[in-house]
Structure 1
Amino acid sequence: MGNVIAMARDSLVSFVSRLGTERDKAATVFYTQPILTDEQIVAAYRGSWLPRKIIDIPALDSCRKWRGWQADDKVIELIEKEEKRLNVKGKVLEASKKGRLFGGAAVYIGTGDSDPSQSLDVERIGKTGIKHLTVLTRRQLRAGTIDRDPESEWFNRPENYYLTGLNGKQIIIHPSRLVLFNGAMSPDDDISGMTQGWGESILTATLDAIKNADSTAGNIASLIFEAKIDIIKIPGFTENIGNKAYEDAILSRYTLANTIKGINGTLLLDAEEEYESKSAQLAGLTDILMAFMQIVSGAADIPVTRLLGQSPAGMNATGTSDMKNYHDRIQSIQELELMPAMSRLDECLIRSATGTRDEAIYCEWAPLEQMSEKDKADIFKTKADAARALVGSNSGQEIITREALSDALVNTFTEDGSLPGLDGFIDEYGKLSEQDPTEADLIAATTPSRTPGM
Structure 2
Amino acid sequence: MADEKVKVIDKTENKIDSVKSEVPQMKLTAESIKDRLALIPERTAKALNSLKEVKEAFSLPVTMSGLNQEQRNNLNMAFDSAGGFNAIYESLTQHAYDLGQYPITSFVGYGVLQQIAQQGLIRACVQTIADDLSRKWIKLTGCDDSDKLEKLTNLLRDYHIQDLFHKAVTTTGYMGGAFIFVDTGEDDLTLPLAVNDLSAELKGKDASVKFIVVDPVNVSPIDYNCIDPLRDDYMRPRMWQVLGRRVHASRLITFIENQPPILLKPNYNFLGIPQAQILWDYVIHFNDCRASTARLLNKISLLVVQTDMDAVLSDPQGLDLFDAKMEFLERYRNNDSVFVCDKDSESVMNVQTTIAGCTDVVRQSLELVACINRTPAVKLLGISPSGFNATGESDLKNYYDYIASKQELYREQIQTILKIIQLVNFGKIDPAITFEFEPLNEENKATQAMTAQTKIGALTQLVDRQAMSAEELREAVRQDQDLGLNFLDEELPEELQQATQTDLMTDDPNAQHGNMFAELMQQKQNADTGNKNSLVDMAQKTFNNSNE
Structural mapping, 1:43-54, within 5 Å:
43-49=115-121, 51-54=122-125
| TM-aligned CA distance change 1:323 to 1:222, over 3 Å | same
Percent identical: 20
| TM-aligned CA distance change 1:285 to 1:353, over 3 Å | farther
- Which residue is equivalent to 2:44? none
State the 1:356 CA deviation.
Answer: 3.4
Alpha-carbon distance in structure 2 between the residues aligned to 1:311 and 1:59: 22
| Correspondence 1:400 to 2:468 | yes
Q: Is the 8 A contact 1:102 1:183 kept in 2?
A: no
- Which residue is equivalent to 2:434? 362
Q: 2:288 aligns with which of 215, 221, 239?
A: 215
Q: 2:356 aligns with which of 245, 258, 283?
A: 283
- Which residue is equivalent to 1:328? 401
- Which residue is equivalent to 2:531? none
- Which residue is equivalent to 1:17? none
Write the letter of the residue equivalent to 1:182: I
Q: Is the 8 A contact 1:241 1:247 kept in 2?
A: no
SS at match of 1:292: helix
**Deviations 1:357-391, CA, capped at 9 Å, x for gaps:** 22221111222211011111111222222333333
Alpha-carbon distance in structure 2 between the residues aligned to 1:93 and 1:192: 25
Structural mapping, 1:99-178, within 5 Å:
99-122=172-195, 123=197, 124=199, 125-126=202-203, 131-148=209-226, 154-164=233-243, 170-178=244-252
State the 1:318 CA deviation.
Answer: 4.5
| TM-aligned CA distance change 1:129 to 1:398, over 3 Å | farther
Alpha-carbon distance in structure 2 between the residues aligned to 1:96 and 1:116: 24
State the 1:130 CA deviation.
Answer: 5.2
| TM-aligned CA distance change 1:400 to 1:353, over 3 Å | farther
SS at match of 1:135: strand
Alpha-carbon distance in structure 1 between the residues aligned to 2:289 and 2:458: 57
SS at match of 1:356: coil
Structural mapping, 1:294-443, within 5 Å:
294-335=367-408, 337-352=409-424, 354-392=426-464, 398-412=466-480, 415-416=481-482, 418=484, 423=487, 426=488, 430-433=489-492, 435-437=493-495
SS at match of 1:342: helix
- Which residue is equivalent to 1:228? 301
**Deviations 1:23-53, CA, capped at 9 Å, x for gaps:** 99xx98461233523333222221341x223
TM-score (normalised: structure 1) = 0.75
| TM-aligned CA distance change 1:267 to 1:352, over 3 Å | farther
| TM-aligned CA distance change 1:332 to 1:91, over 3 Å | same
Q: Is the 8 A contact 1:100 1:182 kept in 2?
A: no
| Correspondence 1:267 to 2:335 | no
State the 1:172 CA deviation.
Answer: 2.1
State the 1:158 CA deviation.
Answer: 0.8
Write the letter of the residue equivalent to 2:119: G
Q: Is the 8 A contact 1:128 1:353 kept in 2?
A: no
- Which residue is equivalent to 2:130? 59
Q: Is the 8 A contact 2:312 2:322 kept in 1?
A: no
Q: Give the root-mean-square deviation of aligned CA atoms.
A: 3.6
Residues paired across the two proteins, number: 394
State the 1:401 CA deviation.
Answer: 2.5
| TM-aligned CA distance change 1:29 to 1:142, over 3 Å | closer
SS at match of 1:212: helix
Alpha-carbon distance in structure 1 between the residues aligned to 2:401 and 2:382: 19
Write the letter of the residue equivalent to 1:409: V
Alpha-carbon distance in structure 1 between the residues aligned to 2:302 and 2:295: 13
Write the letter of the residue equivalent to 2:294: A
Alpha-carbon distance in structure 1 between the residues aligned to 2:156 and 2:353: 58
**Deviations 1:329-370, CA, capped at 9 Å, x for gaps:** 3222222x2113333223213444544322221111222211
Alpha-carbon distance in structure 1 between the residues aligned to 2:331 and 2:405: 67
SS at match of 1:134: strand
SS at match of 2:188: coil
Alpha-carbon distance in structure 2 between the residues aligned to 1:207 and 1:256: 42
State the 1:223 CA deviation.
Answer: 1.4
Q: Is the 8 A contact 1:144 1:161 kept in 2?
A: yes
State the 1:314 CA deviation.
Answer: 3.9
Write the letter of the residue equivalent to 2:494: D
Alpha-carbon distance in structure 2 between the residues aligned to 1:432 and 1:244: 104
Alpha-carbon distance in structure 2 between the residues aligned to 1:130 and 1:153: 31
Alpha-carbon distance in structure 1 between the residues aligned to 2:291 and 2:170: 27
State the 1:128 CA deviation.
Answer: 9.8
SS at match of 2:350: strand
TM-score (normalised: structure 2) = 0.63
Which is bigger in relative contact order (C-alpha 8 A, separation at least 6)?
1
Alpha-carbon distance in structure 2 between the residues aligned to 1:59 and 1:245: 63
**Deviations 1:156-192, CA, capped at 9 Å, x for gaps:** 211111112xxxxx32222112221123212234x57
* Largest Rg, 1 or 2: 2
SS at match of 1:306: helix
State the 1:144 CA deviation.
Answer: 1.6
State the 1:135 CA deviation.
Answer: 0.8
Write the letter of the residue equivalent to 2:214: L
Unaligned runs of 5+ in 2: 1-94, 504-548
| Correspondence 1:292 to 2:370 | no
Write the letter of the residue equivalent to 1:147: N
Q: Is the 8 A contact 2:235 2:265 kept in 1?
A: no
| TM-aligned CA distance change 1:133 to 1:351, over 3 Å | same
Q: Is the 8 A contact 2:452 2:483 kept in 1?
A: no
